[in-house]
Amino acid sequence: MKTLCITGSASSQELAHVAKPLYQAGLEPAKALQKGVAIDLRDWHRRVSPMLRHEQPIGRLWEKAAEELLFANFLDKAWGWSDPESLWALDFWADLDPGIHFLLVCESPEAFLARSMLRDSEQHREDAYLEQWRTIHVRMLKFYLSHPDRCVLVDTDQAARAPLALIELVKMQWQLPVERPDITIDVDMPADSLSSQLARDWARAWIVQHSTRLESLRLELEAAQQPLSSGEPPSSAKTWPDERTGAPPWPLLLKLYQEEQDQRTQKKSLAQARADVEQLETRLTEEDRERATLLTENRGLNKRLALAESELSQVQQEKKGLLIALQQSQEQLEQSLSQRQAQQQAFDNERADLIGKLEEYHRDNTRIAALENELGTLRQESESLLITLQQSQEQLEQSLSQRQAQQQAFDNERTDLIGKLEECRRDNTRIAALEDELGTLRRESESLLITLHQTQEQLEQSLSQRQAQQQSFDNERSELSRKLEDTRQENEQLARADQHRQALEKERDTLSADLNMARQQLEAAGEQSSQLQAAEREAERLKQECEALLFSLHRTQEDLEAQTRQGHQQQATRDELQKRVIALKQRGGVLLAADNVKVNRPTPEQVEWRFENVLIGGDEQVSLAVTGALKRGGLVIEVAPESGTPWQLESADQPSLDFLLPEQRLVANVLPELLQGHLAQAVTAPDSKEQWQQALTKLQQQLAEQPPRLAFAKPDLHHVQINPDYEHLWITLRQARFSKSEPMDWQFRLSCANVTPQAFGQHPKLEVPWQRQQLLSGWFDESQDDFGKKLELRFAQPEAMDGEVWNKLPERDRQLLRELILQLPSILQQLEKNGHSPERDWPQWYRLADDMRRILRANIARSA
């Protein structure tokens, strides 16, 4: 990047004439700084020049603004600016960036005096103007002698009249990437007027007589200047006449100068008037062509209106068919709901009967326990019988809780129950062998067997009824799914009809706009011919047709809105049915949490579950695959959701439990109970089943013993800091709570150090500033920056972390920071959803948060 500063004693207009050919040759003009309000280099110099003239410090704010202005033009190979005020900031720019070069534009004293006197209509201060010229050029010469390699002195008149030579000089002096164009450059430099030439002659004579002290400075400037033309010498080198000794007639020159300015203004006005006349003639020609085009378009619009009417009639017919289908769907849904309510009532009655029968089992167990006191020799056998009966009772209760599971589960449970009842019969046979010794005990045992037979028959009847109910419920679910799909298709048809209506409205608006434009153009032309009258009559007729079409569209819109309301009602009904299904799943527990469960056991130590439409935390997940394995002295569970990255739980690896993301933690909390409910389908051996149940119970206890969670109402983006080598997001958590703390607004900063244009995220940091209400009980003043005191936890790629700061914090604060880092992706997603937009893309901040979590987990695992 190379930068060129163009400044000098010339005016802003003259400097612009000098800079224009350089811009045309490839030098990029300076870009403004966008900080809410655009700030360019001209604004910067206007603010800073008064302070620099009096050699006062400009302050850190304006220094930083200058740095950011340079950085805004960083990508340009060569750029620059022209401003006479830059003369007072030469030393500042030279110290700020060694890549800035300076084109210093000089002016002869007679030209400077003549220009100043012609602009001063009231006072004639020749000495003051010449002193001003001397001050400016002494400053330029001094700066040139201090930085000869970075400066070039040129004459104003030569630079304006020899632009190609100026381009070659700049290119050869500093190797700027500018190219000499093949065409002649027009720099719009006005020729010297008669008043300007006379003023210069008189200024020359006055300087020769009254100010010979400028001769030495003029000679030094001539020696330092780079000549741009070999024909005419620079204006500062012209021979000064010494025969004019009278006072310059400034009033006459001012009058002549003003007359010349008026003539120039009149010429510009006349040229502008001619251009306006040519533009009006062109517009009239275009309006004639547009008028003919409009007549052609009107004929086409009539055809389009006819097509639109036919399409509207088709839409009305489709609407009638949709209304009939919607009414039929509504009636079917109401019938299905009434049948479902009747089935629910029958199911509740059946549940009450089974509960009564379980109470009778409890009374029978009490009677058997009383017999143990009378029959000591059969105590062990009676205890075995009681255990068997209790197991039977547990199986009966489990079958009641699994009433809405799949038919295969009921068949397996029935088989187990029949086997246990057979054991009861064998035990009763053994009791019958002892009837000779205890007749009373025999009669009671026979009564118990009769009761068990009756219960078995009742259970078999209940199972058959449950199978019929399950089949009916499955049929109803499929019918409901089909109706929901029909409703979705009807909603899509309504949406397509609404889009068609909107297209017709847009076409109507376009037609109305075309007609209004035609009327305005015809009226502006002022023609009173028969063609205008015919066009007006045609426009009136089209207006009436448009109004009729608008009325028809309004009626169609009302019909579509009515259909949309009906569709919304159907959507609400579907949502209500979905809520009822979710409520049924919640009441049914883990065994009814999924519509379909597939369990597979590829190896003795591994079980695979696959759930469809499973209820997790109040929401249904379409698919969830879980693989469990007993290894490494514990349970390892791999979870593969339908969307997202697979993740793993390991009871022997505590970091795998501690570093769960919020959405993973929600699934992990319900997994142990959900897997236990469907374990019997794959694991039938008692020993293996008990081992799996113990492992799942241990995992459930570990999840329940996790540290407290960080809770908050919402996150807010307080501030975004962007420096060349540092960036941060200052975030406020509203009503934040942790452990037993009171709710408070808590702030932290997610930042990154050592930022470069090519690298971001190599050195992430988590900063907690000082604040009156602090969640960190062990916060301490670790470092300080422009924003005040702070506690800073530093990270570095690939897996480095500031362990000294981490170890100084108490255990509760470490748990809080770990929980905060786990929730960073969710916090950033909420900020993005709320419309906050930092200058850096959100995905880069997401990667920064993921890297911090990965580094923290690796360091905690190594320390453990």
Packing angle between helix 109-119 and helix 194-210, nearest 10 degrees? 120
How far from chain centre, in Å, is Cα 677?
41
Residue 648, pLDDT above cutoff 70: yes
Contact 154/106 with Cβ under 8 angstroms?
A: yes
DSSP code at position 710? P
d(CA 705, CA 697): 13
669-682 pLDDT per residue, tens:
888 887 877 777 77
Residue 188, pLDDT above cutoff 50: no
Max Cα separation, the chain?
164
User: Tokens 């020696």 appear where?
Assistant: 223
Residue 709 pLDDT:
84
340-396 pLDDT per residue, tens:
677 667 666 766 666 666 666 566 556 655 555 655 555 565 455 556 555 655 665
d(CA 107, CA 10): 7
Least confident of 54-63, 522-531, 560-569: 522-531
Q: Which residue has the higher pLDDT, 40 or 251?
A: 40
Beta carbons within 8 Å of 583's beta carbon, 6+ residues apart: none
The phi and psi torsions of 49 (rounded to 5 degrees) equal: -55, -45
**The two structure tokens encoding residue 731:** 């975030």
d(CA 389, CA 392): 5
Q: Measure the CA dihedral 115/118/121/124, to 10°.
A: 70
d(CA 393, CA 380): 20
Beta carbons within 8 Å of 534's beta carbon, 6+ residues apart: none
The 10 Å Cβ neighbour count of residue 273 is 10
Q: Which residue has the higher pLDDT, 348 or 6?
A: 6
Show the DSSP H helices in 678-753 as ranges: 686-704
> Which amino acid is it at 130?
L
d(CA 428, CA 425): 5
CA distances from 37 to 34, 523, 580, 717 (A): 6, 44, 56, 22
Least confident of 175-189, 660-674, 731-745: 175-189
The confidence band for 732, taking pLDDT boundaries of 50, 70 and 90, is very high
pTM of the model: 0.35
Report the alpha-carbon angle 242-243-249, nearest 5: 100
Contact 680/696 with Cβ under 8 angstroms?
A: no
Report the alpha-carbon angle 134-135-136, nearest 5: 95
| 583 closest CA partner among 555, 615, 611, 545 | 615
**Beta-sheet strand order (sheet of 596-603):** 596-603, 606-616, 619-631, 634-641, 647-650
Q: Is 759 helix (H, G, I), strand (E, B) or coil?
A: coil
Residue 242, pLDDT above cutoff 50: no
Element (H, E) at 190: none
Residue 173 exposed, middle or buried by CB count within 10 Å (0-12, 13-18, 19+)? middle
d(CA 851, CA 854): 5
The 10 Å Cβ neighbour count of residue 108 is 28
**The two structure tokens encoding residue 371:** 């017999």
The β-bridge relationship of strands 28-29 and 78-82 is parallel
Q: Is 563 helix (H, G, I), strand (E, B) or coil?
A: helix
The confidence band for 5, taking pLDDT boundaries of 50, 70 and 90, is very high
DSSP code at position 596? E
The pLDDT of 618-638, averaged and rounded, is 80
d(CA 314, CA 426): 78
> Which amino acid is it at 722?
I
> Which amino acid is it at 550?
L
693-726 pLDDT per residue, tens:
778 888 777 777 777 888 899 999 989 999 989 9
The pLDDT of 104-125, averaged and rounded, is 72
The confidence band for 266, taking pLDDT boundaries of 50, 70 and 90, is low
Strand partners, 105: 8, 154
The pLDDT of 54-67, averaged and rounded, is 89
Q: What length does the chain have? A: 864
Residue 200 pLDDT:
63
Residue 72 pLDDT:
87
388-446 pLDDT per residue, tens:
555 655 665 565 556 556 556 545 655 665 565 566 556 556 655 555 555 665 565 46
- When the pLDDT of each residue in the chain is averaged and rounded to a whole number, the result is 76
787-806 pLDDT per residue, tens:
899 999 999 998 899 889 99
Least confident of 77-86, 89-98, 182-191: 182-191
Q: Is the peptide bond before 241 cis (omega within 30 degrees of 0)?
A: no
State whether the Cα torsion 474-479-484-488 is positive or negative.
Answer: positive
The 10 Å Cβ neighbour count of residue 425 is 11
